[in-house]
Structure formats: C-alpha cells, structure tokens
Amino acid sequence: MSTDDQISLRVEFTGGLELLFSNQRSHNVTVPAFVSTDGSSVYGSANTNPVDVNYLLRYLRDNLLKERVELFMENNTIRPGILVLINDSDWELEGEGDYQLRSGDEIVFISTLHGDAERSVALRNAVRSRSKIIVGMVSKYRHCHISGGNYCLPITCPGIQLHWVVVMGKLFHRTSSSLSIAKNMRSSALIALCSAAVAAAHGGVLQYSFDGDFYNGFVPYNTATGQFVPYNTATGQSTIQRQWATYNPITDATDANLACNDPGTVTDPQLTATVPAGSTVTAFWNNPWPHTIGPMMIYMANCNADCSSADPASLAWFKIDESGLISGTVADGFWGSGLMVQQNSSWTSTIPAALPSGNYMIRHETLAIHTANQPQFYPECAQLQITDGGSGSPSPTVKFPGGYDPNDPSINIDVYSSTATSYTVPGPAVWTG
C-alpha cells in the first residue's frame, strides 16, 4: 500500500488474511447464494448487485469492524472464531431471500478453505444447542476475483469473501448472502483487517496527559512488546491505567466491573502518575471514537492508601466533570460524546484545586445511547497521586455498581422516539471544589 493512499478507515494487524476496500463505486455487496436443506452442498450465484461504496463503508464502519473479531491463521486456513455484531445501530444488509442480516445477529465463522463436506459437519455442530444463529464463513482466494457465491473467476487478483446463512434449529434456512471484495481494487484502500486480530469494536481510553505530561494506557489483546494475545491474557504492560480486557462495552448498569471495566485489575507493574491538584487532565480515546450520542462523565475516588491494593467497586466515587446534551433534541442534537469526537476523540477536565492530597483513581466514562434501551458503558480508570492539594470535601459520592439505576430514563432510553431538548446526565452532581 503506497503512502499516497488516503486512509480514512483502517484496522491493521499482523497475519495472513486481509480485507481491503477501496473508494471505487464498483464494489458488489449483496451476493445471493444458497445452502441445501441438509447442508450437503453450497451453491453460489454469479449475480451481483452493485451498491454505493459509501453504504458499504458505513456498514463496515458501524458494524463489521467495530466488534471483537478473532481470526486465527494456521497454514493459510482460518481456524474457528466468532464475530458478534452487537445491536448498536439500526442497520441491515439485505440478501435476495426472505431474510435480512440485521444488527444484533450473531455470526459464527466456522470454516474457511474447507470442502463442502467439512463445512457441512461444522454447520451441524454449530447449531446443535441453538435454535437460531447466523453462520458465517470467510474464504480467501489467492488468485481469483470473487463475483458471487462460491464462484470465482481465474484472474490474478486475490479476493476475500464473507458470507452467512440463517440456521433454524437443526435445519438450514435456504437464504444466504455474502460480501465480496476483490484485492485489485486497492488504489485508495480504506480498510485493512488482518488475521489473528481483534478489530477495534468500540474501544476506550488509550492515553492520558496531565498538564502536558503523557502516559500510555493499557492496550487490550497485547503484550508489552505489542504481540497479539487472546482475550483477557494481556500481561506485562506497565501503565497508570487499570486493565480492561475487551474493546466491547459493558451493557448492564449493575455489572460487577462497572467501576473500572473488565477486569479492572492492576497492571504488571502498576504505575501511578503524580499530579498537582488544579491540573488539567486529558484522556485520549481511539480516534475516531465511533459513538457520538451520549454523555461524558469523569469521576475520582480516594483510595485512602496505595491505589494498587484498592478494589474499585469499594471506592466512593465523586464526579468532577460531565457533559450531556449540548444542543438540539436527544434524537439529532449535539452531545458531549460528539464534542469529544470533534476534539480528536479527547476530553479535558480540571482536577479541582480544593481536592486534598492523596492517592486517587480517576475514572473516564462515555455512555453510548444510540441504540434504543441498550446502553453501552465505556469506563476506564487510572491511578494518581495528588499533590499540593486543598481542604475540600468531595461529595456526593456513589459506588459502582450502584451509582446508576438501570431503569433511569437517561440510561434506559430510546433517543429516536423523543423530541426532548433536555437530558439529565446519570450519576451524582458534579463536585467543583
């Protein structure tokens, strides 16, 4: 890929499989294919329906590349992995049958570069304990352009195909669709997804700045040297931030890990930033942050001793900053999270000058409410030693979980059915010192 390529969306990891999407309008997105009712064979069709590439990119940006993806390469074969499309936006991708792939569906990648017989066995095994799933398969063709279904034309341009079928019980639904990309369309590549990877489904805080002094955050799925590791096995990183194991959100206001994300444990070794009271703190999320509807909330809590031995769920958290609905209606207005994105996915707050000296945690949280009645919490915590403090008494305080009511209309909300021009940010009032 040349340095002249204009990359607006790119997820890149090490490995042998990559998906490349260009900004040409000649992509084909909806490709019909059919699976026999007994799963004995898969038939493809060369019919394609061209679609505006902007639609393709929105679909990928909002769904496919924003969830946790695990694809492990072994001798050019993708081992089983799972891609879950969490219902975080209103989208659908139509097939030519009577089923439409929608947000919230689960896609289980079960077979790649396998014969039909192996694929049938994998399909049957995948549905034994489920009443309905979406089964997806990834195919990598080194020397062919994919034009639809399982067909490929023998020209020298490697391609990638994603396709899925609906499974009901132990029978195979006859509708299948696929997304096909030819590798030769890469003059202005926008996305690259490589194997053995976790795509940045959502994300979190990756870096901090305290009056211009920068500290790196924790990086899920990575070792200290940047090597990919499976979920919840990232170790050896030295940072001020508590660990968080996945880019995916917490979706329950009563989740045990709501304080500092999952698992919220110390790093190895754990660092602490020394910060004077009254300093500014800027948190940096993965850029661009994908969610622009919802509030921003920043909390702190006194550890009363060394924060490395503190349980975040036991701490008394007080809020030092927040931003909710800034203008417009809840459905189409400008939100605090939208402002964060506008600021290059960063948020700056001031640690109150009246805060007493001591050991504290700071908790940055964005709450995404773009999906009706399905909140997404993204909290991350870092350890601080506050110096040159004042004599204030931070209040009110809450604990997490416990600080949010899952039935709070600001959390359990359908923004699209409301014309309200006001919004109450969840949690306690802000303590300004």
pLDDT in tens, 211-243: 988 898 988 766 665 554 554 556 678 899 999
Per-residue pLDDT at 370: 86
Asked whether the whole model's pTM tops 0.85, one would answer no
Distance CA 380, CA 258 (A): 9
Tokens of 397: 């305080």
In order along its 433 residues, the chain shows pLDDT tens digits of 222 222 222 222 222 222 322 222 222 223 222 222 233 333 333 222 222 333 333 444 444 433 323 222 233 333 332 222 222 233 333 333 344 444 444 444 333 333 344 444 444 454 444 444 444 444 433 333 333 333 333 222 333 444 444 444 433 333 344 443 333 322 222 222 222 222 334 789 989 999 988 898 988 766 665 554 554 556 678 899 999 988 788 999 999 999 999 999 998 788 999 999 999 999 999 877 878 899 999 999 999 999 999 999 999 999 999 999 999 999 889 999 999 988 988 999 999 999 999 999 999 999 999 888 889 999 999 999 999 999 999 999 999 999 999 999 999 999 888 899 999 999 999 999 9
Rg, Å, the chain Cα set: 24
Predicted confidence at residue 110, as pLDDT, reads: 36
d(CA 275, CA 312): 20
Residues 75-100: pLDDT tens digits? Answer: 333 333 222 222 223 333 333 334 44
Burial class (CB in 10 A: 0-12, 13-18, 19+), 209: middle
The two structure tokens encoding residue 49: 């329906």
Q: Tell me the CA distances in angstroms from 128 to 122, 124, 248, one per residue in order.
A: 10, 7, 27
Residue 248: predicted pLDDT? 81
As annotated, the residues of the chain forming the CATH 2.70.50.70 domain(s) are 205-417
- If one looks up domain 205-417 in CATH, what number appears? 2.70.50.70
Q: Give residue 6's pLDDT.
A: 25
Preceding peptide of 401 cis, ω within 30°: yes
Structure tokens at 372: 């009706």
Query: Contact, 180 vs 148, CB < 8 A?
Result: yes
Q: Which of these, 248, 341, 218, lies nearest to 288 by C-alpha position?
A: 341
